[in-house]
Amino acid sequence: MSAGWAFAITAVALIVGTVCSTLHQSLRSLSRSKFDNMAQGNKAGLRARACKILEDRTGHAAAIALPRVFANIVVALGTLTWINQIRDHPASSGFTMGDVVYAALIATPLLWLIGYVLPLSVATHAGERMVIVFSSIVRGMYIITTPVRTLLLILDEAIRRLAGASKANGQEAIGAELVNMAEIGEAEGQLDEAERDMIEGVVSFRTISVERIMTPRTEIEAIELTDDLDQVRRLVQECGHSRIPVYRESMDDIVGILYAKDLLHWLGAAPDTTFRLESVVRKALFVPEQKAVRELLSELVANKVHLAMVADEYGGTSGLVTIEDIIEEVFGEIRDEYDDEEEDEPSIIIDAAGRTAEADAALRVDDANDELETLGVTIPECDEYDTLGGFVVTTLGHIPEAGETIPLENAVMKVTESGPTRVLRIKIEAKDEAPVAKPIMGQIEQPASKAPPPDD
């Protein structure tokens, strides 16, 4: 082959490889909405191809990678042949080590610049347009490489099982990627902590259950159905809530919800007017503990209510949840004019120097573990409990008194405050990281030697 033909073949292969590399990068970073909008303004055939590409972007990217690899091989061999010809070797000498070195010095930066850097830049700024223009080629390669891609899928599944990894869920993968990008953005200073928490809240919104965000039964302020007007008015003034559950005999028998505004009619009523709480109580909405928060929000909006009672598996009252609780899961704590400024969310105080931590027993175990990482302490997580207090009660098997302790793997948990029915506060003391030296078996530990007395 002459030097001219070798150069021409190398140039064509380089162009083909660049186009394929650009399409590969574009498919991997494709904006679905932008690509779909571009496709809508074209002919029906192109729109159909665009839909097929969107259905399996990864498969199309893998298909277009095959001709890219082939083109790169042709570029390398063509460069080697061209170098061999222009060095004017005898026909029988073949390729020399010098030819290989020169070809590598020329082809490597060429493939890096034109075969990687340039395609990456084009894919970043005009990736969707590139895929639209070359959609026929992308679809054609996808169909041609079907047998090879099937083999790759089998290989990928085998590797996944050997690695013990769970089968990837598309939505979970996207959510994990969004959280990861938010954490990177915070580390680089592009996002603050509140913005990162908001993104994480939105991502986790679809998987959070009502049980996680509800107000527990023990903290519900409710009215008994037999209470008179003065008792009801006093409780409404003290608690500051606009909606209050009403029960008959016990909290497990919720008969409805009292709206504070419904009492306005009774404020100016004559003293001899008979007040019946049952006449102003509205129907309550009941939801199970495991209901997804996303579904609950839709149900609250559909029923035009702001509060729902949470029922456990036995039909008893487990807690209550409001629209405000749902919003706070995404945007963080929201305080209004009725919230007590001194009443804070369950918290934990870390003393890194003293290697101790004090926390409210109502703090969730997963939130506590995030803070305890600085001490190297991890509290076991289990479906049987959610909070630190639940962990203590589950582990001990009874409501502990102040002073009782629980040994952890590398720390000791101590109950510092407890009530008749629950744990209130706990303290965690981390063990020293450096192990204490122990004498070898059979060796007696000698006391420190004293300095000899001065000579007389």
Q: What is the pLDDT of residue 446?
A: 40
Q: Is the per-residue pLDDT at 168 higher than 60? A: no
DSSP state of 116: I
* Whether 247 and 292 share a structural domain: yes
- pLDDT band at 184; cut points 50, 70, 90: confident
Q: Tell me the mean pLDDT in the region 180-203.
A: 79
Q: Do you know the residue count of the chain?
A: 456
For residue 440, the model assigns a pLDDT of 39
Residue 454 included in any domain: no
Does 337 reside within a domain? no
**In Å, what is the CA distance from 347 to each residue of 7, 358, 380?**
71, 9, 18
pLDDT on residue 414:
92
Average pLDDT, the chain: 81
Most confident of 29-33, 101-105, 289-293: 289-293
pLDDT attached to residue 269: 63
Lowest mean pLDDT among 113-127, 130-144, 222-236, 258-272: 258-272
Of 160-174, 207-221, 303-317, where does mean pLDDT reach its minimum?
160-174
Whether 121 is in a domain gets the answer: yes
Q: Express each pLDDT in 353-404 by its tens digit.
A: 888 999 998 888 888 888 888 888 889 888 778 889 889 988 888 888 888 9
Given a cut of 60, whether residue 324 has pLDDT beyond it is yes
- Whether residues 282 and 221 share a domain: the answer is yes
Tell how far CA 341 is from the center of its chain.
Answer: 30
Q: Residue 352 is encoded by which pair of tokens?
A: 């890194």
Q: What is the CA radius of gyration of the chain?
A: 35
Q: Which residues contact 452 (CB under 8 A, 6 or more apart)?
A: none
Q: Give the separation between CA 209 and CA 293, rounded to whole angstroms.
A: 5
Please indicate, yes or no, whether residues 149 and 10 belong to a single structural domain of this protein: yes
Kindly state whether residues 27 and 111 are assigned to the same domain: yes
- The CATH number of the domain holding residue 307 is 3.10.580.10
Same-domain status, 32 and 128? yes
C-alpha separations of 221 from 272, 311, 349, 413 in Å: 28, 16, 28, 31
Take residue 27 and report the two structure tokens written for it.
């498919």
Q: How many CB atoms lie within 10 A of CB 341?
A: 6
Is residue 46 over pLDDT 80?
A: no
Comparing 328 with 36, the larger pLDDT belongs to 328
pLDDT at 167: 63
- Return the residue matching tokens 């040994």: 407
Spatial separation of the C-alpha atoms in residues 377 and 355, rounded to whole Å: 10
**What pLDDT does residue 438 have?**
41
Does residue 440 form part of some domain? no
pLDDT on residue 456:
41
Residue 362 and residue 400 in one domain: yes
In a domain, residue 447? The reply is no
Average of per-residue pLDDT across 79-107: 76
Q: Is the same domain home to 248 and 320?
A: yes
**Beta strand extents in 260-323 (DSSP E only):** 281-282, 286-288, 307-311, 317-322
pLDDT at 255: 93
Q: What is the dihedral of CA 47, 50, 52, 54, to 10 degrees?
A: -140
Structure confidence by residue, pLDDT tens digits, 98-110:
778 888 888 888 8
- The better pLDDT of the pair 65, 160 is held by 65
> What is the distance between the alpha carbons of residues 261 and 303, in angstroms, rounded to a whole number?
19
- 306 DSSP 8-state letter: S
Q: Which of 58-72, 124-138, 223-237, 260-274 has the lowest mean pLDDT?
A: 260-274
pLDDT of amino acid 415:
92
Residue that is last in its domain, among 126, 160, 194 = 160
* Mean pLDDT in residue range 43-54: 79
Domain that holds residue 74: 3-160
The answer on 99 and 189 residing in a single domain is no
Highest mean pLDDT: which of 204-213, 385-394, 429-438? 385-394
Q: Does 317 score more than 50 pLDDT?
A: yes
State whether residue 69 is helix, strand or coil: helix
Q: Which residues of 124-149 are buried (b: 16+ CB within 10 A; e: fewer)?
A: eeebbebbbebbebbbebbeebeeeb
Is the same domain home to 359 and 379? yes
Going by C-alpha positions, the residue among 384, 415, 381 that lies closest to residue 401 is 415
Residues 129 and 91 in one domain: yes
Residue 145, domain member (yes or no):
yes
Going by C-alpha positions, the residue among 363, 353, 357 that lies closest to residue 429 is 357
Does one domain contain both 200 and 215?
Answer: no
**pLDDT at res. 63:** 87
Could you tell me which residues come within 8 angstroms of residue 206 by beta carbon, excluding any fewer than 6 positions away? 171, 175, 292, 294
- Joined tokens for residue 400: 């502990």
Is residue 445 in a domain? no
Pairing of the two strands 281-282 and 250-259:
antiparallel
Rounded-to-integer distance, Cα 83 and Cα 61, Å: 33
* 282 and 176 within one domain: no
pLDDT for the residue 284? 92
pTM metric for this prediction:
0.54
Q: Cβ(298)–Cβ(285) under 8 Å?
A: no
Last residue of a domain, one of 304, 331, 358: 331
For residue 190, name the pLDDT band (cuts at 50, 70, 90). confident
Structure confidence at residue 257 (pLDDT)? 93
Residue 343 lies inside a defined structural domain of this protein: no
Express as a percent the part of the chain with pLDDT over 70: 86
* pLDDT, mean of residues 178-190: 78
- Under the banding of pLDDT at 50, 70 and 90, the label for residue 174 is low
Work out how many domains the chain is built from and give that number: 4
Looking at per-residue pLDDT, the higher value among 172 and 128 belongs to: 128
- Looking at per-residue pLDDT, the higher value among 288 and 172 belongs to 288
How high is the pLDDT of residue 41?
Answer: 67
In terms of DSSP bridges, do strands 307-311 and 286-288 run parallel, antiparallel, or are they unpaired? parallel
Rounded Cα–Cα distance for residues 61 and 56 (Å): 9
